[in-house]
Structure 1
């Protein structure tokens, strides 16, 4: 139903105009382009034939670098925002949660709003993926001014006047709702969802330091007053909820998280909001929460007006791998039995892509429960089976063997072989171990928060993936200092205290670090871009995305791909635009074939998702280029717009 032509296209536009505000194909009114998160621009001025004329139209600098320096925040900062374009104004947020309005033709600043977030708090990451807009008029037909909604890393929901950038005093308390009140020190890193006169937000939190994290509640507020409409807890607390029986153990009720930190999608026609939930806390040990842990690691459809559960589909049972549903669910339509069926496409960190019926949650391709390796860690009970989609086939590596070892030199390869031989991997869903487990795809692998895009005219789902292997080791708490004293690499690895459990987490990846950068230890490619036909479930093509080593020194590096964060954009003219890779290039590929057609060097890392709009007859492409502190890409504070010269 997302083909903007014929009867279905007219119906969609009519419904979205009634329930969500009129959507103009030239605008980009939501994070994913539309409320359904397809990340597709129905624009065709920029084509494969004229790509060579694509040039920088304007560049705007946010001034964020000064904020990082003042607050020692550079190592955690990531400019991941996708701007909005509505009614002739571009709106975006910065990692420090400042909101900026720009002239979309020139990049000239119209106004800024600074919520004055204290960047010295202990945030896992300093980022904001964007803002949301409520278009009006409201449901009773009274004209209201456009609002911009910002959810902050210090746990606030703020309503701003789109015209002035000033807080709207009648919303909450002087324009602000304290999302931490009654919950605890949560953050929000993704834009809230808007449906009708309701704004809905999830939350973000670090989830490896203790068992009893905050509750990952999803809440809905009135867009005009800020009054709470409903709240939904992904961990079932009521005795009459049938899912509660899937959480067993004396401490199961203390479990937190299972939150929705990624982007929500909405279906105004069906009055549904789709929630991608995450792992319960802590990520890598579940002995205190034995069972399937339903509603966690799930796609959950709620009635948007009431918050009542309509259906849920669990992508991982009893998560032990930090396999959050990080990608926004994409609401698409597919052909079945000669007709169009409303669907939800779900990309996961495991490299599994599930296609579900949007109204029931039933899989549209077969899903099999298959036996998986069991845990040898005392106290743990890994779930005996996991859901595997028959189609599409998994993306990314599903197992690591000694023959997968790789190095820039023969000595590097031998080190990689030795390391792989010392670790455990029995295929997908190998549980964490005391010896050390290779998890592939990793918590950063498969489809991450960059998500998927969907070209409705070609029925192609496009996604970029990471092929990165994590090394997970659990250490009995009383033996931590002893083990670190014996193993310098273990001392350097990331530590999750997992308080409330018997084990401390140590997490690393199959690479080493040197003055020259990362030295990968598994065979390339390490990042790819691929296309899947969502009618048949067949993969149409897959190509390396970016490079991590200097091609002048290593000519084959252009075929090795790159670790990548950020998503892709498709256009009606058959182009797929994506940055995301560590090399800092913004690229265009042919959607039909995967052929690389164009690339442009960005002034800083492009770990974000681009968007496109048309203004005064000219199509623009815009991307945030500010780098990613944890990935080590060059930091900056650029917003770059491209157009045909």
Structure 2
């Protein structure tokens, strides 16, 4: 059993990643009384080289530990703040190289917290913070002072050794927080996509939490008879301390879009993998995508909870996917709680590919978003005579539905490789037994390029070009957009979805995000934005950021948007909540997302209910404004103007790089 978060000591609120808080001070009845409590700036805008800062994604979720609010910056600085005022208490800088060109940009989603119960109460490093870095180090700090723990590794750090020579220094990095259980700290990795077939292996490593000595390593990919790397764990992990299990969401083998050198299902890639945390021994594994050639790896933290199934309560693992599936598995065995069917999927791949004939489909819980794209789903913001570019692009592609294989002709991939649920994961309310998740809706155009042609071509600007060295094909991947710079699929482009898992029923959908921070004059068309970030559930409310600069509160029962809090930059991170000196706070990192082309910043922002004499101001408001309500010719003119702004919004959502 995993206890719900009271003070947010884990990246996902609790060790099982439910992102649920039992705090009830902030409710639908008073959410419109939220005010900004404080704002903290990391200083990265001024202190970092512009070229490096332009490659940042501020995705951190703070922890409340040892009377401090602790988080990491995109450059792996660890900062401790006073929870009530936002005043800095200490700061640690590991001095990462800002010239590495990390494949997945400068990002640090969080740190892990651990207490050494064997140490004296006043001993240095009795409570510790662990962080993985962009330059592949695992660092241990005293949680109270921010000083290195010298007995851990060498002067408080362990360097992760990669067996294979890197193509460039940034090919291998760590972006998600480690996890700790039974005195073992576990860390994954993030590896550059589509560079080569024989890529670095996706080894997950366990270290002694006191000394930093290696305890075990686990390569998710079985290499017998295949040539591939990856299957790494770049997304957050979960821990069941009582069972002594760590749960890994594994990624696809290399490269993402051609698997001719790796026949078979490529077990244990694209899987929920449960390991014995003390030894690294495999307990069980469940694969969600066989022989992945779509970059449909597992991007989200497995959520651990006790679920009413209709046949009694069971401890389960809930795993959302990019395809929009939610797999619900028994925590002891990995067996599906409800039937999962192997269904036939499109065949007819390029020469040398060896697709598998079926893929697993959950039968009880419906998909969180549509999984097929038809001509009527094309978004015509203006009449076709003005712009038919989406029809022209998409009509020429192979489109046989979910799992249509990549082709030299070009394949319509929907959901896209950054679609469905991403690294933000899902939240689960154990009281109401409801799952909440953000999803993104967009179309990818994936095209395989024959090797002789690829070796001569100049990579197209604005297109993700993967050489896939060692394969007979390179790959291009681009989000389908119109000539006006708008997504080719009909809105909404981002939604929050509430699911009754026991009933197997979608309860509601709510569009999240507007065009306000992109369109001229701040016009707020409620089309939604991609939502790679997660949510927090508390007091009958669900809070989320988006790729516009607002923190939002939705009614957990209905999905009605009740409140917006203005941010200095988009909060493309998971919000968190805690109680401090009798007041409940909501906090989110607001620094934007360079790959999505949003504005960038370096802020952490906290909200709380107004005290006596305080009142909400312009940046905090209930949802009663008519933003975006235009008609007729005014709408067409505005859309054309908005397109000029949207054309700068690159929407380059690249699978696991989100």
TM-score (norm 1): 0.90
* CA distance 1:219–1:521, shift in 2 (3 Å): same
SS of corresponding position for 1:546: coil
Q: Which moved more, 1:368-377 or 1:409-418?
A: 409-418
Pair 288,67 (structure 1): closer, same or farther in 2 beyond 3 Å: farther
Equivalent residue number for residue 85 of structure 2:
106
Give the match for residue 137 of structure 1: 117
Deviation at 1:414, TM superposition (A): 1.8
Change (3 A) 1:555 1:388: farther
TM-fit CA distance, 1:118: 0.6
Deviation of residue 281 (structure 1)? 0.6
Residue 157 of structure 2 is aligned to residue 190 of structure 1: no
Q: CA deviation at 1:336?
A: 3.3
Residue 364 of structure 2 is aligned to residue 395 of structure 1: no
Change (3 A) 1:368 1:172: same
Structure 1 residues 528-586: Cα deviation after superposition (integer angstroms, max 9, x where no partner): 00100122221111111112367987999644211122110001x1110001x222111
Counterparts in 2 of 1:347 and 1:136: CA distance versus 1, 3 Å? same
> How many angstroms does 1:406 deviate by?
1.4
Q: Distance in 2 between matches of 1:557 and 1:381?
A: 47
Residue 377 to residue 552, structure 1, CA distance change in 2 (3 Å): closer
Equivalent residue, structure 1, for 2:141: 160
Aligned pair partner of 2:540 in 570, 574, 580: 574
CA distances 1:469-509 after superposition (whole Å, capped 9, x unpaired): 1100001011237776xxx9x56421100000010111101
Match of 2:195 in 1: 209
Shift of 1:295: 0.1
Query: Aligned in 2, Cα 1:67/1:78: closer, same or farther, shift over 3 Å?
Result: farther
User: 2:324 aligned with 1:335, yes or no?
Assistant: no
User: 1:584–1:603: 8 Å Cα contact kept in structure 2?
Assistant: yes
Contact (CA 8 Å) 1:406, 1:413: kept in 2 or not? no
Structure 1 residue 432 corresponds to structure 2 residue 406: yes
Equivalent residue runs for 1:56-67 within 5 Å: 56-67=36-47
Indicate yes or no: 2:452 matched with 1:475: no
**Equivalent position of 1:404 in the other structure:** 377
Aligned to 2:34: 54
Deviation at 1:381, TM superposition (A): 1.4
Quick one: distance in 1 between partners of 2:198 and 2:456?
A: 27
Note if 1:456 corresponds to 2:437. no
Deviations 1:367-414 (A, max 9, x none): 110000113311111111000111211122312222222132114652
Structure 1 gap ranges (5+): 5-24, 238-243
Equivalent-residue separation in structure 1 for 2:40 and 2:517 (angstroms): 29
1:22 is aligned to none
1:66 match: secondary structure: helix
* Preserved CA contact (<8 Å) 2:3 2:14: no
Q: Does 1:539 align with 2:509?
A: no
Identify the match of residue 607 of structure 1 among 572, 582, 587: 572
Matched residues in 2 for 1:348 and 1:139: separation?
Answer: 41
User: In the alignment, is residue 151 of structure 1 matched against residue 132 of structure 2?
Assistant: yes
Task: Please say if 1:258 is aligned against 2:231.
Answer: yes
Q: How many equivalent pairs are there?
A: 602
Partner secondary structure for residue 410 of structure 1? coil
User: Closer, same or farther in 2 for the Cα pair 1:506/1:147, shift >3 Å?
Assistant: same
Q: Secondary structure at the match of 2:427?
A: strand
Summarize deviations over 1:568-613 as a string: whole Å, max 9, x none. 0001x1110001x222111000111111111111111110000000
Aligned to 1:234: 220
Question: In structure 2, which of residues 283, 286, 290 is the aligned counterpart of residue 310 of structure 1?
Answer: 283
Partner of 1:563: 530
Q: Structure 2 vs 1, CA of residues 642 and 294 (structure 1 numbering), >3 Å: closer, same or farther?
A: same
Q: Is the 8 A contact 1:374 1:381 kept in 2?
A: no
State the Cα RMSD in Å: 2.1
Residues 332-371 of structure 1 mapped to structure 2, 5 A cutoff = 332-336=305-309, 338-371=311-344
Match of 2:250 in 1: 277
Q: Could you give the per-residue CA deviations for residues 442-478 of structure 1, whole angstroms, max 9, x where no partner exists? A: 1110011111011111101000000111100001011
User: What are the superposed Cα offsets for residues 201-246 of structure 1, whole Å, 9 maximum, x if unpaired?
Assistant: 0111102110111110111111110011111011124xxxxxx4xx
Write the distance in 2 (CA, Å) between the matches of 1:50 and 1:442: 38
TM superposition shift of 1:173:
0.6
Question: Does the Cα contact within 8 Å between 2:206 and 2:215 map onto a contact in 1?
Answer: yes
Q: Any stretches of 5+ residues in structure 2 without a counterpart? A: 167-171, 611-658
Query: Deviation string for 1:98-135 (max 9, x for gaps)?
Result: 00011101111011111110121121211000111112
- The offset of 1:622, in angstroms, is 0.5
Q: Secondary structure at the match of 2:496?
A: strand
Give the TM-score normalised by structure 2.
0.88
Alignment of 1:618-633 (within 5 A): 618-633=583-598
Matches of 1:138 and 1:333, distance apart in 2: 31
Q: CA deviation at 1:196?
A: 2.0
User: In structure 1, what is the equivalent of residue 631 of structure 2?
Assistant: none
Matched, 1:639 2:604: yes
Change in CA separation of 1:194 and 1:478 when aligned onto 2, cut-off 3 Å: same
Residue number in structure 2 paired with 1:509: 479
C-alpha distance in 1 between matches for 2:483 and 2:121: 59
The answer on whether the counterparts of 2:300 and 2:425 sit within 8 Å (CA) in structure 1 is yes
Aligned mates of 1:364, 1:556 — CA distance in 2: 46
* 1:17-56 CA-partner distances (Å, limit 9, x unpaired): xxxxxxxx54110000111110111100011111111000
Seen in structure 2, the aligned counterparts of structure 1 residues 364 and 102 have a Cα distance that, compared at 3 Å, is same
User: In the aligned structure 2, how far is the partner of 1:472 from the partner of 1:367?
Assistant: 28
